[in-house]
Amino acid sequence: MKSITIKGSKRESVGKVATKAIRNAGSVPCVLYGGGEPLHFSAPELGFSKLVYTPNAHTVVIKLEDGTEVNAILQDIQFHPLTDRILHVDFYRLFDDKEISLNIPVQLEGAAPGVLNSGGVLRLNKRKLRVKALPKNLPDVIVANISGLELGNKLYTSELQTETYSILHPDNTVVCQVRTSRASAKTTDLPEGDTAASEEGAETGAGEASEEN
């Protein structure tokens, strides 16, 4: 999995006054959990853009001015309710021998016959899936191959399980499916006579509109 580097400095004070001063200076107060006492630090808000404002999943390399370097993941983030500025970020330290849970985006691969040949509509039910794995086995994306999906077919999480990571959803969770389009469903529901009448009415309406112009 790709990593993003966050550069910052340790916080000497964690009180409200110091925290407000950090935000006024354009930085974000952060806390790193895991492996002992929490580590308090701050980092420039602009440094979080590639980590926060993206659908992709990343691990983080935290580099502090005193030489501290830690691998971590984003655990929680707080935004200002009006301005959407980042108020606070929590990280969790990664350990090579300890599994972690993370939301990973789903990437569709292939073309569904139910869409190409039968006029169906592909619906993506899960844009992200939560997985559990060792840090080295965390995928950038979960590939969902839709090449076998006919009209009415569904792709379940049980079909995406691998030996390198576990998907933390029930096996019957629908990732994506090919459904009948609304237009096709309406046409199918109408008797032949009604369909013909509908088409005739549409042609008549078009003719009347043309005459008015």
Query: What CATH number should be reported for the domain whose range is 101-185?
Result: 2.170.120.20
Beta strands at 3-10 and 39-44: parallel, antiparallel or unpaired: antiparallel
3-state secondary structure labels for all residues of the chain? CCEEEEEEEECCCCCHHHHHHHHHCCEEEEEEECCCCCEEEEEEHHHHHHHHCCCCCCEEEEEECCCCEEEEEEEEEEECCCCCCEEEEEEEECCCCCCEEEEEEEEEECCCHHHHCCCEEEEECCCEEEEEECHHHCCCCEEEECCCCCCCCEEEHHHCCCCCCEECCCCCCEEEEEEECHHHHHHHHCCHHHHHHHHHHHHHHHHHHHHHC
pLDDT tens-digit profile of 107-121? Answer: 999 999 999 999 999
Q: How far is it, in rounded angstroms, from Cα 120 to Cα 125?
A: 15
User: What ranges do the domains of the chain cover?
Assistant: 3-94, 101-185
Structure token pair of residue 44: 């420039």
b/e per residue, 7-30, with b = 16+ CB within 10 A?
Answer: ebeebeeeeeeebeebbeeebbbb
Distances (CA, A) of 166 to 138, 155, 182: 10, 17, 36
- Fold match between 3-94 and 101-185? no
pLDDT tens-digit profile of 26-79? Answer: 999 999 999 889 999 999 999 999 999 888 999 999 999 999 999 999 999 999
- The mean pLDDT of the chain is 87
Residues of the chain with pLDDT > 90: what percent?
77
Residue range 154-163: mean pLDDT, rounded: 96
- Number of C-beta neighbours around residue 142 at 10 A: 20
Query: What CATH number should be reported for the domain whose range is 3-94?
Result: 2.40.240.10
pLDDT at 183: 60
